[in-house]
């Protein structure tokens, strides 16, 4: 398993008492497979995604990425794990305006020591970016920018790809096309995809679905 979450709870301090955002959530996600996380706003989706990416600490339970237990890692070890094994794609794209598309795609892979020119060329070809590599983010459409964000995330060949509403800024046609490509590339690379979405259409495209309600899987 690439991602294992067992009975994880997360609480945040409130004015009167602590608020439980997640209440004993568990899931398993294998290499090359995908899982859609759905639920109403405030149900704990983004919190669980951040915990799965070693971006925050949980209160109880356990999370493992590629067999590594997060509870035993310090901050520097968590950062090293993220550089090596975890990539993220967000709704806002988060491309660097001062870098051209080629350098945006290369950034994470070079920082993680995982740059592979052959794999990156395959990604850019499959994502239709080959003719856009010398342009800058502001010169691209929203759909093109999201494909760049996907290429950057997969260039490092991570064990785990986390995506938070990755097509939320795209229309339905562009959204479906981007998701089709992402899912094909996830299978090719053996990456596990853990995706948060409000879209029932997108959720149905993935292998598994998990719905959160008030911090509990239902």
> What digits encode the pLDDT tens for the residues 53-94?
999 999 999 999 999 999 989 999 999 999 889 999 988 888
CATH value of 3-210 in 3.30.200.20, 3.40.50.1820, 3.40.50.300, 3.40.50.620:
3.40.50.300
| 14 pLDDT more than 80 | no
Name which of 126, 129, 81, 82 is nearest 105 in CA terms.
129
- Domain boundaries, given as residue ranges, for the chain: 3-210
Confidence band for 174, pLDDT divided at 50, 70 and 90: confident
- Taking residue 203's Cβ as centre, other Cβ atoms within 10 Å add up to 19
Residue with the larger pLDDT of the pair 178 and 77? 77
pLDDT given at position 178: 86
- Taking residue 201's Cβ as centre, other Cβ atoms within 10 Å add up to 12
How does the average pLDDT of the chain come out, rounded?
A: 92
- Whether the CB-CB separation of 37 and 29 falls below 8 Å is answered with no
Confidence band for 218, pLDDT divided at 50, 70 and 90: confident
pLDDT given at position 168: 83
For residues 137, 141, 143 and 149, what is the CA-based torsion angle, rounded to 10 degrees?
Answer: 0
Radius of gyration of the chain from its Cα atoms, rounded to whole angstroms: 17
pLDDT given at position 105: 96
Task: Give CA separation, 125 vs 132, 154, 188, in Å.
Answer: 11, 13, 14
What gap in Å lies between CA 196 and CA 209, rounded to an integer? 10
Confidence band for 17, pLDDT divided at 50, 70 and 90: low
Beta bridge partners of 76: none
What gap in Å lies between CA 9 and CA 104, rounded to an integer? 35
Mean pLDDT across 184-212:
93
Mean pLDDT across 100-104:
97
pLDDT tens by residue, 115-151: 999 999 999 999 999 999 999 999 999 889 989 999 9
- Whether the CB-CB separation of 195 and 24 falls below 8 Å is answered with no
């Amino acid at each position: 398993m690439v991602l294992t979450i067992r009975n994880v709870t997360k609480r945040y301090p409130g004015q009167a008492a602590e608020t439980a955002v997640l209440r004993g959530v568990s899931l398993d996600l294998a290499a090359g497979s995908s899982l859609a996380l759905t639920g109403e706003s405030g149900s704990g989706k983004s919190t669980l995604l951040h915990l799965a990416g070693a971006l925050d600490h949980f209160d109880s339970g356990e999370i493992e990425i590629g067999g590594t237990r997060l509870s035993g890692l310090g901050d520097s070890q968590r950062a090293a794990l993220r550089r090596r094994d975890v990539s993220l794609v967000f709704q806002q794209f988060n491309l660097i305006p001062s870098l051209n598309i080629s350098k945006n795609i290369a950034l994470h892979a070079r920082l993680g020591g995982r740059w592979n020119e052959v794999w990156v060329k395959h990604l850019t070809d499959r994502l239709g970016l080959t003719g856009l590599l010398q342009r800058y983010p502001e010169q691209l459409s929203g759909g093109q920018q999201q494909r760049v964000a996907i290429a950057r995330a997969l260039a490092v060949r991570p064990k785990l790809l986390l995506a938070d509403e990755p097509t939320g800024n795209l229309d339905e046609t562009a959204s479906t096309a981007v998701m089709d490509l992402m899912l094909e590339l996830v299978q090719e690379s053996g990456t596990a995809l853990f995706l948060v979405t409000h879209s029932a259409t997108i959720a149905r495209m993935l292998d598994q679905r998990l719905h959160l309600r008030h911090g509990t899987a239902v």
